[in-house]
Amino acid sequence: MLQALRNDYESGYLQSVIELVHAGSRPCQENQRRCLLLDQHYKDPAAIVTGSVLEAHLRKLCGKHGIAVVKADATPKKADTLNSELTAAGAYSKLDQKSVTAWLDLRNNAAHGK
DSSP assignment letter at 112: T
Give the separation between CA 91 and CA 67, rounded to whole angstroms: 11
| Per-residue pLDDT tens over the stretch 54-74 | 899 999 999 999 999 999 999
pLDDT of residue 20: 45
DSSP assignment letter at 14: S
| Average pLDDT score over the chain | 79
82 by Cβ neighbours in 10 Å (0-12 / 13-18 / 19+) ranks as buried
Give the separation between CA 41 and CA 105, rounded to whole angstroms: 20
pLDDT of residue 89: 96
Give the separation between CA 114 and CA 71, rounded to whole angstroms: 29
| Per-residue pLDDT tens over the stretch 100-112 | 999 999 899 988 8
Question: What is the identity of the amino acid at 56?
Answer: A
- 33 has a pLDDT exceeding 90: no
